[in-house]
Structure 1
Amino acid sequence: MPSGKFTANAAWLTLAALAHNLTRTLGTLVSAFHARARTGTIRRQLLHVPARLANGACALTWHFPEYWPWQDALENLWTAVGHRLKT
């Protein structure tokens, strides 16, 4: 919660704006649907992922549930940031 100190409020506002901008950028990188989606939708579909990331043989491997509906969106994001996604 914001406090009575100006510097604490300024830091809180800066971090809140940064988190919002990073979430919106993530949505834009993933798909046209997520570029227009609300922040809660992006958080629910892309950030709260029930997956395990394993590091083996110098490669990162995602282990998703068998029928994860937003796996294609996450593959688009992973490709956009310059990695190859192995599932």
Structure 2
Amino acid sequence: MAKPLEVDEQWLERIADQVSGLSYGHVTITVHDGRIVQIDRTERTRFDASSQKQQAASDSIQQVKHREGQSTGESLRIVQ
């Protein structure tokens, strides 16, 4: 038979602190022998599609600049 979980005010505050402000992610509470021994928080950061497209375009420009600079010995300046 499992022991009843012992939770005091301090652990409730710790759990509330970990959950507070979490937009995407999860909080894992580890219990050993009926006592909380650990709290893990994993937070995710999500980016919208337009941010990903902008980053991909920027990466492509950097790759072109690098390749053309190597082949001609000159640096390439791109003005947007």
**Do Structure 1 and Structure 2 share a fold, with TM-score over 0.5?**
no
TM-score, normalised via structure 2 length:
0.31
Higher helix share: 1
TM-score normalised by length of structure 1:
0.29
Compare the two structures and name the one with the higher strand fraction.
2
